[in-house]
Each structure stands twice: as structure tokens, then as C-alpha cells.
Amino acid sequence: MIRKCLFPAAGYGTRFLPATKAMPKEMLPIVNKPLIQYGVEEAIEAGLHQIGIISGRGKRAIEDHFDISYELEHQISGTAKEALLNQIRNVIDKCTFSYTRQVEMHGLGHAILTGETLVGSEPFAVLLADDFCANDDDGVLKQMVDLFAIHQCSIVAIEEVPMDQTQNYGVIAGDEIEPGLYQVTEMVEKPAPENAPSNLAIIGRYILTPDIFDILRQTKPGRAGEIQITDAIAAQAKSGKVLAYKFKGRRFDCGAIEGFVEATNFVYENYYTHGNNYPNRKL
Ligand code: G1P
């Protein structure tokens, strides 16, 4: 059973400067809710209530967000605005939040290894909050947790991307064992289109078995001189089973301005104007 979800959140968010000069990029709102809260709600929906955040300098607003604000609650208590805080209050009540700091940035693999202290030796999920996923049915993590219950191995979420975009993603090759489910044979971090083994790109949802930590300790810096989680999972796939799952739903790359604006418009038009906050499923 999976109980924990790690949120790497130490990155600088330079693509959103100056907005992210003094504010964590994970706190950028899609309409009225920070990206990281959508992620935590997706984790709760999947049954993961132990939230581990890999934090860094300048990220204190995340801790404050997932805490009670007595002054604010006192001020609006008894007014119509009280309901606006109910959703975040519900999130805080359902989860525990633990933090560890990534002191130096050596890549996503390094960030996840930094989270070992929060995970211990059990399978866990990783959610990259800037990959915002919208779905009226089960959220992506819930879909993956259900698959884990059957297969008990590491799983990455994938989607097809245009071939000329492979250099922005980890890319997999594999044998399709069921429609939309691949046993991974190869994984490459950000390959040029001519070197990409397919157009199946990894998006920011992972379920990992804890042996990944020992593998990460052995993983040499790869693409961009950083320790890549893609390389570690590729090593795991060489000696055991790793699955890649074409998730159901729609993903927005909120690490880039265009994707962020698209997600904002999508949530505004499809949910907010109809009186629903996304996601409108029960947590
Ligand atoms: C990271 C991973 C990459 C993955 C991507 C998904 O890259 O290294 O394999 O495809 O997240 O968003 P980043 O976007 O942090 O450069």
C-alpha cells in the first residue's frame, strides 16, 4: 500500500521571473488555487495522506499555505467568505506535511534522493506540481495507485508528444503488454528527436519502489550534469519490471507560460464559471 507522496519543490522557477523572485513557483495559482494544492488534492484522492515536500531556500510560503492562519480565519469567521477557506482546511486536516531541504540543486534524481529521509523503505509516489493534470474521473495518481496494487513495481505516467518535442522530456521505449501499458525496456532523458526511442514522454507522476534510493546513490550525473531520475529508473528497468502508463486525462505544462495560461483558461471556463472549483470530486 502506498501512503506517501513526495513533491520536489526546490527549483527556482526562472521561467516565471519576476513573479517567482520572492514567491515559490509551486504557489502560482491556477485561477484561485496554488499549483501545489491541486497536486496535494490529487494525492489525497489516491489515498496518499503523508505529504513530503522537498523544499529549498525561499519556499516558506508553501509551509504557511498548508497550515492554519488563525488571524485570517478569525477575521472572516461567520462571513460568506468563510467557505473559501474550507477546501484548504479540509486538505490540512486530512494530511501530514513533512519538509526537508535540498541544499544544493543537482537534478530531480538528487531531489528525490533527498526525500529518502521522509519516505524510508516503502513504495511512494512523486508528483511534479508544474505538470497540472485535469480529469473528471479518477485523477492520474489514483489510476497509478490502482495499477501498483496489481503490478507492485515502479510506474511512470506517459503521454504521446510531437516528435519534435522529445528533447523536453524523459522518453521511454517498451513492450505494450496491455493497451496503454508498457513494460519499459529503455528510458532516455531529453533525447534529441533523432535519438529518441519513441514519442512516449514521461510526465510528472511516478510511483517508485524504495530500491530506487540505492540506485540513485550509484547514478552518475547525466543530462545537463545532473542526477536524473530517468537514468535511475532505466537502471531499475534493466534488472526488474518497470511500467509506463498512458494516463487518462489532460496534462498542462505549467512549468511554461503557455501551458500555465492554457490551464488557467481551461479551469476558468470549465469549472470556475460553473461554480465549481476544480477538482469537483469529493476528497
Ligand atoms: C523532468 C524529468 C523529465 C520529465 C519531466 C516531466 O524534467 O527530468 O524526465 O519528462 O520532468 O515534466 P523537467 O521538466 O524538470 O526539466
Q: What's 230's domain CATH number?
A: 3.90.550.10
Is 280 a member of any domain? no
Tell me, using a 6 A CB cutoff, whether residue 35 lines ligand 1.
no
Is 281 a member of any domain? no
Is 25 a member of any domain? yes
Is 283 a member of any domain? no
Number of domains making up the chain: 1
Tell me, using a 6 A CB cutoff, whether residue 132 lines ligand 1.
no
If you take atom 7 of ligand 1, which residue's CA is the nearest one?
169
Q: Is the distance from CB of 157 to CB of 205 less than 8 angstroms?
A: yes
Model confidence pLDDT, tens digit, residues 99-152: 999 999 999 999 999 999 999 999 999 999 999 999 888 999 999 999 999 999
Query: What pLDDT score was predicted for residue 283?
Result: 60
Rounded Cα gap, residues 128 and 116, in angstroms: 16
Tell me, using a 6 A CB cutoff, whether residue 202 lines ligand 1.
yes
- pTM value? 0.95
Q: How far is ligand 1, taken at its centre, from the CA of residue 275, in Å?
A: 33
Tell me, using a 6 A CB cutoff, whether residue 128 lines ligand 1.
yes
Is 10 a member of any domain? yes
Q: How far is ligand 1, taken at its centre, from the CA of residue 222, in Å?
A: 13
Tell me, using a 6 A CB cutoff, whether residue 127 lines ligand 1.
no
Q: How far is ligand 1, taken at its centre, from the CA of residue 202, in Å?
A: 7
DSSP-assigned states of every residue in 162-213: -GGGGGGSEEEEEEEEETTEEEEEEEEES--GGG-S-SEEEEEEEEE-TTHH
Is 43 a member of any domain? yes
Model confidence pLDDT, tens digit, residues 188-245: 999 999 999 999 999 999 999 999 999 999 999 999 999 999 999 999 999 999 999 9
Is 270 a member of any domain? yes
The percentage of the chain sitting over the pLDDT mark of 90, rounded to a whole number, equals 83
Q: Domain of residue 208: give its range.
A: 4-274
Is 219 a member of any domain? yes
